[in-house]
């Protein structure tokens, strides 16, 4: 699916401040920052959880959300469904891919009406096999985050997609902590995902800063997803681990530079390399010599620049005689050596 340059996704998530105008400005800012896509989340508090106040539904995971009930959190964070069409249309108009993470079948049906080009399965939904099957059955590219997944969970999710004829699968390494600690990133999983499952691999990043995406791309990531916020003053559940426009642009620039630095396997002798070879070592006459003088370490040396005989001849020509007079500083050539 993503075979050329890394596909960089700005995750809108809950960073809309309850305002469609903020959501629109965020999408425009993501385009300015160099994102390839903007990702939404399509759910309501009622489609993702229950309005219950028991301890089962209270967050107690050592996060900034601790103490809140799930329903309250998702009611605040959810993106109104009536905004979706305007946001999809805006993104298309300015040249951004817009897609979403559905959290139930009704969201999938809704996104189909909007002709979403891609689907994303969020980290905590990787075990929702009926949802994955329904999403995959739509035949669109599917991106799946692995945050809470075991190896078996990933295998089952991929198998489920393929069982309905969808092998256009991207798996994102993800650490489901907000923010995620660097020591929990384990980015070496990215090339392993690619090799083990024969899928496109990438990173859904919750670490602070931009270092993890750079390293991920160096390790072969073809997709980078990062939370994006117009201004951290907007606040909201995800603001503390999101990048603003300037930070996101720095990440995009760093990723694109990383791609250039990685380049391709290359042993070709280009014109630049040929020119640089002028500074390579070669054999030069370092003292004036006369015809018949014996070649020795006293009168030839391997030095820069590279206009003389290749240094590989050094041992072979020691003890032979010069065929002519040669001044100090002249590059040695085969014609100056007797018997060669």
DSSP state letters, 208-242: SSSHHHHHHHHTT--EEEEEB-S-GGG--TTGGG-
Region 104-112 average pLDDT: 98
pLDDT at residue 168, rounded to an integer: 97
* Residue located via tokens 């100090």: 328
Distance between CA 236 and CA 247 in Å, rounded?
18
**Virtual torsion, Cα 69, 70, 75, 77, nearest 10 deg:** 110
Could you give the 3-state DSSP secondary structure of residue 94? helix
pLDDT reading at 333 higher than 70: yes
* 276 or 281, greater pLDDT: 281
Tokens linked to 321: 């005689």
Region 81-87 average pLDDT: 98
pLDDT reading at 161 higher than 90: yes
In this predicted structure, which of 45-49, 97-101, 186-190, 272-276 has the lowest mean pLDDT? 272-276
Please give the mean pLDDT across all residues of the chain.
Answer: 94
pLDDT reading at 234 higher than 90: no
Beta bridge mates, 119: 100, 142
Region 174-181 average pLDDT: 88
pLDDT reading at 1 higher than 70: no
pLDDT at residue 176, rounded to an integer: 83
pLDDT at residue 65, rounded to an integer: 66
Q: pLDDT tens digits, residue range 184-225?
A: 999 999 999 999 999 999 999 999 999 999 999 999 999 999
Q: Taking a C-beta distance cutoff of 8 angstroms, is the pair 70, 23 a contact?
A: no
pLDDT reading at 323 higher than 80: yes
What band does 274 get if pLDDT is binned at 50, 70 and 90? confident
* Residue located via tokens 């108009």: 93
pLDDT at residue 73, rounded to an integer: 82
Which pairs from 101-104 meet CB under 8 Å and 24+ separation?
101/39, 101/40, 101/41, 101/42, 101/125, 102/42, 102/43, 102/131, 102/135, 103/41, 103/42, 103/43, 103/47, 103/48, 103/131, 104/43, 104/47, 104/48, 104/131
pLDDT at residue 163, rounded to an integer: 98
pLDDT at residue 66, rounded to an integer: 75
Kindly list the structural domains of the chain, giving each domain's residue range(s) and its CATH number in brackets, ordered by start: 7-43+78-262 (3.20.20.70), 271-336 (3.90.1210.10)
Distance between CA 212 and CA 184 in Å, rounded?
11
pLDDT reading at 64 higher than 80: no
């Amino acid at each position: 699916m993503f075979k050329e340059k890394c596909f960089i996704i700005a995750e809108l998530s809950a960073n809309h401040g309850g305002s469609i105008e903020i959501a629109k400005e965020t999408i425009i800012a993501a385009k300015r920052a160099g994102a390839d896509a903007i990702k939404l989340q399509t759910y309501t508090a009622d489609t993702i959880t229950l309005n219950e106040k028991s301890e089962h539904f209270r967050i107690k995971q050592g996060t900034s959300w601790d103490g809140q009930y799930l329903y309250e959190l998702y009611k605040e964070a959810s993106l109104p469904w009536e905004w979706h069409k305007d946001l999809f249309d805006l993104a298309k108009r300015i040249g951004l891919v817009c897609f979403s993470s559905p959290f139930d079948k009704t969201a999938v049906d809704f996104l189909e009406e909007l002709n979403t080009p891609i689907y994303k399965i969020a980290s905590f939904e990787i075990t929702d096999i009926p949802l994955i099957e329904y999403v995959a059955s739509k035949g669109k590219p599917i991106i799946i985050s692995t945050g809470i997944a075991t190896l078996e969970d990933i295998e089952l999710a991929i198998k489920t997609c393929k069982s309905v004829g969808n092998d256009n699968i991207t798996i994102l390494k993800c650490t489901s902590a907000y923010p995620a600690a660097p020591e929990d990133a384990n980015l070496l999983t990215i090339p392993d995902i690619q090799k083990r499952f024969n899928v496109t691999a990438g990173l859904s990043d919750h670490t602070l800063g931009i270092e993890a995406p750079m390293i991920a791309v160096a390790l072969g990531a073809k997709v980078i997803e990062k939370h994006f916020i117009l201004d951290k003053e907007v606040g909201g559940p995800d603001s503390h681990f999101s990048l603003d426009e300037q930070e996101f642009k720095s990440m995009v620039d760093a990723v694109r530079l990383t791609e250039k630095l990685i380049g391709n396997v290359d042993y070709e002798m280009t014109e630049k390399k040929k020119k640089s070879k002028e500074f390579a070592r070669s054999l030069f006459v370092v003292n004036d010599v006369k015809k018949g003088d014996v070649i020795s370490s006293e009168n030839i040396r391997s030095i820069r620049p590279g206009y003389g005989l290749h240094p590989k001849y050094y041992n072979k020509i020691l003890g032979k005689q010069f065929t002519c007079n040669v001044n100090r500083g002249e590059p040695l050539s085969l014609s100056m050596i007797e018997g060669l």
